[in-house]
Amino acid sequence: MKAVLRGAKPGPTVAVIAELDALRVPTHPGADAESGAAHACGHHAQIGSMLGVATALSAPELRNALSGNVAFIVTPAEEFIDIQERLALRASGEIEFLSGKQEMIRLGTFDDVDMAMMVHTSAVNGSSVFSVGGTSNAHVSHQVRYIGRSAHAGGGPYHGINALQAAMLANTAINAQRETFRESESVRVHGIISNGGASVNAVPGEVIYEGRVRARSIEALESIAEKVIRCYRSGALAMGASVEVRSIAGYHGLIQDPTMQKLFVGNAELVLGRDSISVVGASQTHGGSTDMGDLSTIMPVIHPYANSASGIGHGHDYLIEDYDRAVVTPAKVMAATVLDLLGNDAQAARQAIDQSKPAMTAEQYVSVQRDRFKTELFEQV
């Protein structure tokens, strides 16, 4: 979903992004009764902020000050969940990549965009309104299918090959590897068993384990993922099962543009005062991942956080407590930042673009992501 506001003069295009996402947290007080979906990460506030920016910049006196365009882009599926459903869409040809910004890069949505920004909510941490800077982890996902042999769990378990035990042994092996993960690489390895067997009175003949590996960079990620895949295989080997490991292209780490960040910080200080901003180092990460990292490989971006919630992100108690901080203030600061970028013949935007050195073009990005999809079958049954 994309709309473009055209300024009075030609120039670069700045995207203001909002994400259409919820999480399955059935115990959240706002959860949907049927799906369990809840705003346990605050993405809904981004829509309000984006509309606020659009409303402000549509005023003739502001629109006429722009040398360039503002693209308002709503992206789906930043939360990298429901993997089996997304893989089914991929198999049918409806999508190729599993997140919104990844797929929209492939489809050309960002081809006429030169830079992008968005503000994400976070749980209140100290007195600052905004947290600006830092990075995020890259990640890769695994769909791991253990193939054993079903048998009567009471009458003849010795005739079976227990795929669930294979997955559990693999998880134990992963835990044994944790002491080898370097703290400097911010490694996170986690997973769920999304299908643990057909019935309790049968030896599980097929089990699906959904895993995720995160690290500070793609390079660090690859070495950790190799260890984890060995662990998947070890569980199958121990039980005499087969295992199919499907690697799924995940996210790249976030690179924040210093020119855009400086303008955002300056505007936040004008709106809220000097103590309103917490600036963190470019290498600092909280361990999470975002597909804004993918966008940052091809253009300048910023991804500040608005401290406006209580509870734990992705938890049942994550609630937006201050909608002024979550929606109105980010809209004001982003609108002012767009004006700085595209005002004065867009000198600030042109400077950011000239100084930015993206890691790859959109075409190169698509090629790299395609190569990250792999399927390996290790047969024993």
Which one of 222, 250, 278 terminates a domain? 250
Q: Give the number of other Cβ atoms within 10 Å of residue 168's Cβ.
A: 18
Are the C-beta atoms of residues 249 and 102 closer than 8 Å to each other? Answer: yes
Angle subtended at Cα 242 by Cα 378 and Cα 153, rounded to the nearest 5 degrees = 175
Mean pLDDT across 205-230: 96
Residue 1 has pLDDT above 90, yes or no: no
Residues 221, 293 within the same domain: no
Are the C-beta atoms of residues 342 and 66 closer than 8 Å to each other? Answer: yes
Report the C-alpha gap between 146 and 241 in whole angstroms: 7
Q: What is the pLDDT of residues 51-61, one digit of tens each?
A: 999 999 999 99
Residues 37, 128 within the same domain: yes
Distance (Å) of CA 202 to CA 149, 151, 157, 193, 324: 10, 6, 8, 17, 55
Report the C-alpha gap between 119 and 331 in whole angstroms: 9
Where residue 154 falls among pLDDT bands split at 50, 70, 90? very high
Distance (Å) of CA 93 to CA 90, 98, 101: 5, 12, 17
Are the C-beta atoms of residues 289 and 80 closer than 8 Å to each other? Answer: yes
Give the pLDDT of residue 269: 95
Residues 234, 113 within the same domain: no
Report the C-alpha gap between 304 and 300 in whole angstroms: 13
Mean pLDDT score of the chain: 96
Structure tokens at 323: 């909608």
Report the C-alpha gap between 117 and 69 in whole angstroms: 14
Query: Per the domain annotation, does 380 fall within a domain?
Result: no
Q: Which residue has the higher pLDDT, 125 or 308?
A: 308
Report the C-alpha gap between 19 and 226 in whole angstroms: 32
Report the C-alpha gap between 346 and 350 in whole angstroms: 6
Q: What is the pLDDT of residues 289-334, one digit of tens each?
A: 999 999 999 999 999 999 999 999 999 999 999 999 999 999 999 9
Where residue 190 falls among pLDDT bands split at 50, 70, 90? very high
Residues 8, 113 within the same domain: yes
CA end-to-end span of the chain, whole Å? 47
Residue 346 has pLDDT above 90, yes or no: yes
Residues 286, 358 within the same domain: yes
pTM for the whole structure:
0.94
Residues 288, 175 within the same domain: no
Domain span at residue 296 reads 2-136+253-367
Report the C-alpha gap between 362 and 21 in whole angstroms: 24
Structure tokens at 44: 């809904």
Give the pLDDT of residue 127: 76
Where residue 125 falls among pLDDT bands split at 50, 70, 90? low
Which one of 215, 250, 285 terminates a domain? 250
Strand partners, 152: 202
Sign of the torsion angle spanned by Cα atoms 330, 122, 272, 116: negative
Residue 124 has pLDDT above 90, yes or no: no
How crowded is the C-beta side of 155, counted as CA atoms within 13 Å? 5
Angle formed by the axes of helices 258-272 and 329-342, nearest 10°: 130
Residue 188 has pLDDT above 90, yes or no: yes
When divided into structural domains, the chain yields a total of 2
Instruction: State the Cα torsion 96-357-265-304 to the nearest 10°.
Output: 20
* Residue in this structure with the two tokens 């049927």, named with its chain if needed: 34
Query: Per the domain annotation, does 377 fall within a domain?
Result: no
Give the pLDDT of residue 286: 83
